[in-house]
Chains A and B, each alone.
Chain A
Amino acid sequence: MTVELYGQARLLAGQKIVEVALPVRSSPADFAQRLADKYPALVGKAIRPDLSGPMDSYVLNLNGVEFISGASVELRQGDTLLLFSSQAGG
């Protein structure tokens, strides 16, 4: 699964785009755990310390269209997850 990182998450991971193995039906916790495994620097910054999902100050978005609020989501081949700050305004 392709994951695009933005903001501080990108700077901490040192990469814009990362690949993470995720089950077809994935929850935010699945995402957080797999991403934390590869990029532990994100824990406590973009990912909750308990690995239950992104920090409140971040959002997960599917393909630039659907914001993932908490429930599991079905992922398809070619899907991309985006992780960016929830304070999108300014």
Chain B
Amino acid sequence: MYGYHGQVMLIDLTTRKVAWEPLPESILRRFIGGIGLGTYLLYRYCPHGVEPLSPGNTLIFVTSPLVGSRLTTSSKFAVLTKSPLTGFIGDSLSSSFLATEIKKTGCDAVVITGRAASPTLLHITNNGVDYLDGAVLIGLTTSETEQAVKAKLGGMTRVASIGPAGEKLVKYASVANDGGRQAGRTGSGAVMGSKNLKAIAFRGSRPVEVFEKDALDTIGKDLTLRSLGPATEKYRTLGTMANVAVFNRLGTLPTKNFQQSTFDQAEQISGEAFVQSHHVKNAHCANCTIGCEQIVTTDDDGKQAKGRMEYESGFALGPLVGVGNPNTVIRASKMCDELGMDTISAGATIAWAMECFEKGILTPADTGGIDLRFGNEDALLKTLELISRREGIGALLADGSRIAAQRTGHGSEAWAMHVKGLEMPGYEPRSLKTMAVALSVATRGACHNRSSAYEADFSARVDRLKVDDERGRITAEGEDFSSVLDSLIWCKFLRKAFTDLHAESAAIYRHITGWDMTPGELKQAGERINNLKKLFNIREGWTRADDTLPARVLTETLPTGIVQGIGLTRDDLDMMIDGYYRARGWAADGTIPPAKIRELKLDDIVEQPSAIR
């Protein structure tokens, strides 16, 4: 086999058994790799109804046929599990050397079940699996853990680790790799912690051959040139923080827990300000020519913090919590990376708490004396620390805004800004109506990344402030396009460098694997993968009621900026969701008809269609 090893490694931490299962061509062609193959493996190996933090849940690491090809942006991997935050599919992507090292151990994916008897460092090589003592790593940050493991096993070892937040089963804990990159959202770090896995070290030597190396090299050189052109300029110059000033101007920058969509201190934490005052250098993932990572540093008299800055972290730890000091935003983002927590969920859960505090629902007695108001920078940093330890107010906030609001009551669920339990990213749905649909229907919860539906809103294609029944179709197309990217796996920042993603990628897939793949087949794979994600969720209890937006979005209009007075009604959202289901060929209640399952060649994989609601 070319491009793949054709096998998945199954590790049971309880029994310490390791097994190898074949991955035949029929599966690999249908699900490709990355998120797609991971969704198939999750559906297959994750028991129906399993508690996410129980030993029965599966934690899956997946590579892709592009990994090891040296094509630009190809060193990426996926992490999938049943999310402890949502109870539905949890799927994340991360980048860099770890992807290649996983593949060099001789498998296309690793499926981990069970629970180790004690804190463990799992060492995976092409010779097998060793269980090493992980107790000495407990309490270490993600970077300290990575350094300690490399000191023990060698500098070329690549490490997936959790920080203190994952150890304490914070439900939005992330899995870190390669110097602070994070497989974030949905809490895979908590699942890893529940398995007593502090870190997984990979070191392999098995190469993966490609079918037509010369043809692939020629394409690769051309793609590299395109990756350095205007299509990626924004990422190389200001990075995604370029969004802050624009979103503020357009009234789409969620501020103070989505109470408004403009922030009076936006310019202070804009991408332009960061470049001019805090920029250290750009960094690259392995095999990436774009170099989007903006490494920034603090410039005040406090303890120096240096790390990556991306828009979602900047928004969630900035405007969303009312903080306009770039130094504090840098410190907070770095803390989340080191503690191993998703920045969006952390920021949004704290924002919920800040609103509760300002309304008198949470008091200083609840917060241990912390003045947890919007804009209080010390309170933000202290609360992040407490969350990672599940101490004080952190104990309430460590399970996310949905559970915190359920426990707190007093109507606070109305301003818990999540969908399906996953906290909302930095796109105000009331002033981005296509994004409103996308956020409500996304299978992993409120997610901007799995549809890129905002592209329509930021173009002349639609009127972002008005609704119509085409938004659902646009969302579905965006999701299917993204699934192809996420399964091959291409970095999304490369997407505009393609003239025709499906045609070019199908050709690349043929050069790598030797298997004929048409653009149409690849496109259908994207649709298939999204349908299987939905089938997993249906199996785990999804109903149409889960496709919604927070009460605030559906009852309050925006108060400031050029979008003052703009809102979104329940009826309008339902109309657009109806259009999404129609575009997908689903029933009005969002379930998937047997004919669609057969059309997408999922009938040999899913449970009997009659068993699916």
Which of chain B's residues have a CB closer than 8 A to the CB of A64? 249-251, 562
Q: Which listed residue (A6, A61, A63, A89) contacts B448, Cβ 8 A?
A: A89
Is B311 positioned at the interface, with any CB of A under 8 Å from its CB? yes
A-B contact pairs, 20 of them (CB 8 A): A6-B242, A6-B246, A6-B249, A8-B238, A8-B242, A10-B272, A56-B231, A57-B233, A64-B562, A66-B460, A69-B460, A82-B249, A87-B231, A88-B246, A89-B243, A89-B452, A89-B458, A90-B239, A90-B242, A90-B312
Which of chain A's residues have a CB closer than 8 A to the CB of B276? 11
Min CB distance A55 to B, Å, is 5
Q: Which residue of A lies closest to B314 (CB)?
A: A90
Q: Which residue of A lies closest to B241 (CB)?
A: A90
Instruction: Evaluate whether A59 and B459 lie within 8 angstroms (CB atoms) in the complex, with A7-B237, A85-B233 already known.
Output: yes
Q: Which listed residue (A7, A59, A65) contacts B238, Cβ 8 A?
A: A7
Is A39 positioned at the interface, with any CB of B under 8 Å from its CB? no
Is A31 positioned at the interface, with any CB of B under 8 Å from its CB? no
Which of chain B's residues have a CB closer than 8 A to the CB of A68? 460
10 tightest A-B contacts by CB? A90-B240, A69-B460, A88-B458, A67-B460, A85-B234, A57-B230, A90-B311, A64-B562, A7-B242, A8-B237
Binding site for B on A (CB under 8 A): 4, 6-8, 10-11, 45, 55-57, 59, 61, 63-69, 82, 84-90
Instruction: Check B233 against A86 for contact (C-beta < 8 Å).
Output: no
Min CB distance A49 to B, Å, is 11
CA–CA, A10 and B310, complex, Å: 19
Which of chain A's residues have a CB closer than 8 A to the CB of B249? 4, 6, 64, 82
Instruction: Check A6 against B245 for contact (C-beta < 8 Å).
Output: yes
CA–CA, A66 and B275, complex, Å: 28
Instruction: Check A65 against B271 for contact (C-beta < 8 Å).
Output: no
Q: Which residue of A lies closest to B310 (CB)?
A: A90
Which of chain B's residues have a CB closer than 8 A to the CB of A67? 458-460
Binding site for A on B (CB under 8 A): 230-235, 237-240, 242-243, 245-247, 249-251, 271-272, 275-276, 310-312, 448, 452, 454-455, 458-460, 465, 493, 496, 562
Min CB distance B410 to A, Å, is 35
Instruction: Evaluate whether A7 and B454 lie within 8 angstroms (CB atoms) in the complex, with A57-B234, A67-B459, A85-B233 already known.
Output: no
Instruction: Evaluate whether A89 and B460 lie within 8 angstroms (CB atoms) in the complex, with A8-B238, A64-B249 already known.
Output: no
Which of chain A's residues have a CB closer than 8 A to the CB of B271? 7
CA–CA, A67 and B459, complex, Å: 6
Min CB distance B119 to A, Å, is 36
Min CB distance B206 to A, Å, is 35
Min CB distance A72 to B, Å, is 13
Q: Which residue of B lies closest to A63 (CB)?
A: B562
CA–CA, A38 and B465, complex, Å: 33
Instruction: Evaluate whether A85 and B242 lie within 8 angstroms (CB atoms) in the complex, with A57-B231, A67-B460, A69-B460 already known.
Output: yes
Which of chain A's residues have a CB closer than 8 A to the CB of B465? 65
Q: Which residue of B lies closest to A44 (CB)?
A: B230
Q: Which residue of B lies closest to A4 (CB)?
A: B249
Instruction: Check A7 against B231 for contact (C-beta < 8 Å).
Output: no
For the A-B complex with A86-B459, A88-B247 known, give 19 more contacts whose Cβ atoms are closer than 8 Å.
A6-B246, A7-B242, A7-B245, A7-B246, A8-B237, A8-B238, A8-B242, A10-B272, A11-B238, A11-B272, A59-B459, A65-B562, A86-B458, A87-B231, A87-B235, A89-B448, A89-B452, A90-B239, A90-B311
Min CB distance A84 to B, Å, is 5
Which of chain A's residues have a CB closer than 8 A to the CB of B272? 6-7, 10-11
CA–CA, A84 and B252, complex, Å: 15
Instruction: Check A8 against B233 for contact (C-beta < 8 Å).
Output: yes
Which of chain B's residues have a CB closer than 8 A to the CB of A85? 233-234, 242, 246
Q: Which listed residue (B230, B243, B460, B562) contacts A90, Cβ 8 A?
A: B243
Which of chain A's residues have a CB closer than 8 A to the CB of B460? 66-69
Which of chain A's residues have a CB closer than 8 A to the CB of B231? 56-57, 87
